[in-house]
Chain A
Amino acid sequence: MSAGAPARGSPWRAFAPAATGLGTLIGFLLVAELLIRIGVINRFIVPPPSEVIESFGRVIVEEHVPRRFLLTLSECLTAGVMITVFGVAGGVTMHRYKLLQQAIETWVAALAAAPVVLAYPLFMVIFGRSAWTIIMIGFVAALPPVMLKTLEGLAGTRKVLVNVGKSFNLTQNQQFWKILFPAALPTIFVGVRLGLIFALINIVGVEFLINYGGLGQLINDLAERYDLPGTYAAITFVILVSVVFFMALEKVERWLRPVD
């Protein structure tokens, strides 16, 4: 090893990926700022990043971002609880009854690819212009990945583990709770994580479309007022929320999967 090379396990090695990622983002923002300032990109379509950053404080205080954030978050959590309960139960039922699985698996997969958000007028007729319209669209859009991943996890349980259960004479209930379900849990959690992300995207989208509720409505409001730095600040805020949400879910998933 040369004298000047960083030692194995030095702090630089640990932080290099994060620092490179952050550096790339800052570099991108600087390039965007430059291109906007020299007129290559029209500033009436994309505001300079510096103005967006400046407007953060104003948007948070004047537009009641914390309250809106809590509203969007509560909609996401409600939809999240619903997709977990109904999605996992749906996947388990499909696994339990093969005929049902054969009958509806394709439909569920098709629903996963369908732009459910376009059906928002129907949901508004049923639930009115309320948080329930938003929650239910998030729920319907996010249900298929949870069902399909639950099914995949249960069906993918290694046969030898099932045979271990049989060799210990487990009842069907014990076989499910002590072997199938824990074996499938990491895959189920991938489904829940995907579902929550689907739900978040749809919830913010519907808030924007029906101009009701939390962060989605804020983006709509600011765009209609032609407050471009504010609009982009709100969009950035939603992206940050998604990133934090995603990272938190990843942590929980790692906790659920102790060692690979």
Chain B
Amino acid sequence: MSSSSPPRIAGAILTVDDVTVRFETPEGPVIAADDVSFTVKDGEFLSIIGPSGCGKSTVFNVIGGLLTHHEGTVRVAGETINGPHQSIGMVFQEESTFPWRTVTANVAFPLELTGMPKQKRIERARYFIKMVGLDGFENRYPGELSGGMRQRVSLARTLASEPKILLMDEPFAALDEQTRLLLGDKVLQIQQQLRQTTLLITHNITEAVQMSDRILVMTYRPGKVKRIVDIDLPRPRTSEIVGSEAFGRYVAQIWNDLREEASRGLRDEEAHVLHHEAASS
């Protein structure tokens, strides 16, 4: 059910190989990600989970091509990439809709870039708006929507670019737990409908177990792959699964892995604060 080293899967659509990222800080070099390797199969839902500061978002930025000064390689369907790639669609943690565009114009944005005729791209945008459950809000501006609705607009905009891999960085982190669970259902439904390969970065164990086929647990700094856990829960899934016994076992198992890392992170933060206080006094 779990293994200590990442398996290399033949025919993987995404391969992350020995990725290491170092940052220079005033306190010296920091290794944000250390020899991170894993693969994602076509149609698979993989979550990366870890405590704050473990380098999850760094891995997100490397795969999305926003961070290019790294060691190791990222390959999409065998092609090595080092920069943004049309096969990868990104959904960000922060609210990222364009406030000057309506919902339809936001979702049609990637289609506009391809030069698709206006009428066709509006039809296409409406298809994805309906998919995320926002039909009826096509002509609203993001400022008129709730946080969860805006994240759905971002998701629809990314889906409209029809990426091979959907890359999401804690897209529901700013939402309340109930909305988060319901949006998790929506993402699951879409993922199953499109057979969309998805990579989710999260620190929420429930969210990860609810949606994933596999969960990659990262260590606290330097961020390494600690374990990859297969989630053998039946599909199609909904948020109702959070009440099941098997779900609880997976959550406990992953928390067991994470607790040690999270505690280390907490101790490190406390030491950091004390160090700063001592230095400034």
Contact = CB atoms under 8 A, between A and B. Distances in A.
Interface of A: 158, 160-161, 163-164, 166-170, 174, 178-179, 182-183, 185, 258-260
Contacts of A161: 96, 98
B220 interface: no
Interface in B49-77: 64-66
Interface of B: 64-66, 84-86, 88-90, 92, 94-96, 98-100, 109-110, 113, 141-144, 161
Contacts of A167: 64-66, 84, 88-90
15 contacts: A158-B94, A160-B95, A163-B66, A163-B92, A166-B66, A167-B66, A169-B85, A170-B113, A182-B100, A183-B98, A183-B99, A258-B99, A258-B143, A260-B99, A260-B143
Contact of B84 (A158, A166, A260): A166
A259 B141 contact: yes
A38 to B, nearest CB: 54
B96 A258 contact: no
Contact of A168 (B84, B95, B100, B144): B84
A152 B233 CA distance: 51
B161 A168 contact: yes
B143 A259 contact: yes
Contacts of B143: 258-260
A126 B144 CA distance: 53
Contact of B92 (A164, A174, A178): A164
B96 A164 contact: yes
Contact of A169 (B84, B99, B141): B84
A48 to B, nearest CB: 49
A130 B251 CA distance: 80
A97 B159 CA distance: 35
Contacts of B92: 160, 163-164
Nearest to B154: A164
Contacts of A178: 109
Contacts of B142: 259
B154 to A, nearest CB: 8
Nearest to A163: B66
B125 to A, nearest CB: 15
A185 B66 contact: no
A182 B98 contact: yes
A185 B100 CA distance: 9
Contacts of A259: 99, 141-144
Contacts of B144: 259
A182 B99 CA distance: 9
A179 B65 CA distance: 19
B98 A166 contact: no
A166 B113 contact: no
Of the candidates B64, B92, B100, the one having the most CB atoms from chain A within 10 angstroms of its own CB is B100
Contacts of A158: 94
B142 to A, nearest CB: 8
A179 B109 CA distance: 11
